[in-house]
């Protein structure tokens, strides 16, 4: 079984979260939460507060650790490029740009928008390079003792098997559907908060 995706592929998203901290510090103090969602009667049902974007970004970052871990288990012994690993950088970059727009509305220099766009693009490029390096990295050579042990096990089992007897076995697989649905639900909630916030 292949090892799960390395934590190093998540460093660009972590860098964007640190940039987000800097933007929050530049725009401080932030205005009070404002209503940005209303029901059919016009009553406010959702409030947005710019500093809350940081919490949503951290949750999103952690959720994608789970997604990449599941990808590492699914890809088996053959490494393949994981496009899902770039989604956390893309969504956090989107959240960062929206936060910068709110900061500019709050009195921060308009140049902040350009810097956040550049940071998001750079993070995506670095994440793609890290994922390509992970895919093209040579796999460690299998231990020769493991092959010898498998040969010994096969010969031991063959000696125990009655002549002409057929092998029977029971296989139980545990699909990760419940786990995947739970993480997908958390991701959808985080993404909705990202696009609902100003």
Longest CA span, the chain? 85
Q: Distance (Å, rounded) from C-alpha 172 to C-alpha 7?
A: 30
Q: What is the pLDDT of residues 130-170, one digit of tens each?
A: 888 887 877 655 555 565 667 777 777 676 666 666 666 65
Predicted confidence (pLDDT) at residue 5 exceeds the cutoff of 60:
no
Question: CA 79 to CA 81: how far, in whole Å?
Answer: 7
pLDDT-based confidence at 120, cuts 50/70/90? very high
For 112, the 3-state DSSP assignment is helix
Where exactly are the structural domains of the chain? 7-138+177-196
* pLDDT of amino acid 143: 54
- Residue 180: the pLDDT is 65
pLDDT tens digits, residue range 106-117? 888 999 999 999
Q: What length does the chain have?
A: 198
Residue with tokens 């592929």: 9
Both tokens assigned to 135: 């895919």
| pLDDT score of 65 more than 50 | yes
- Tell me the mean pLDDT in the region 177-184: 66
Q: Using pLDDT thresholds of 50, 70 and 90, give the confidence band for residue 68.
A: confident
Percent of the chain at pLDDT > 70 equals: 72
What mean pLDDT is reported for the chain?
79
Confidence band of 2 (pLDDT split at 50, 70, 90): very low
Main-chain dihedrals φ then ψ at residue 73, nearest 5 degrees = -75, -35
Residues ≥6 apart with Cβ < 8 Å to 2: 72, 73, 75, 76, 77, 78, 79
Q: How many CB atoms lie within 10 A of CB 11?
A: 15
């Amino acid at each position: 079984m292949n090892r799960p995706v390395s934590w190093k592929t998540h460093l660009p998203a972590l860098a964007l979260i640190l940039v987000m901290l800097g933007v929050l510090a530049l725009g401080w103090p932030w205005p009070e939460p404002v209503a940005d969602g209303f029901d059919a009667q016009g009553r406010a049902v959702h409030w947005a507060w710019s500093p809350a974007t940081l919490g949503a970004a951290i949750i999103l970052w952690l959720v994608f650790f789970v997604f990449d871990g599941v990808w590492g288990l699914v890809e088996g012994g053959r490494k393949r490029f994981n496009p899902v690993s770039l989604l956390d950088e893309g969504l956090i970059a989107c959240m960062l740009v929206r936060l910068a727009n709110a900061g500019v509305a709050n009195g921060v220099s308009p140049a902040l928008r350009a810097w956040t766009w550049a940071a998001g693009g750079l993070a995506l490029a670095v994440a793609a390079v890290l994922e390509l390096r992970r895919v093209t990295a040579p796999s460690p050579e299998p231990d020769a003792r493991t092959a010898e042990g498998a040969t010994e096990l096969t010969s031991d089992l063959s000696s125990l098997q009655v002549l002409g007897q057929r092998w029977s076995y029971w296989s139980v697989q545990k699909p990760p559907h419940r786990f995947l649905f739970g993480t997908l639900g958390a991701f959808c909630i985080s993404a909705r908060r990202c696009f609902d916030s100003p």
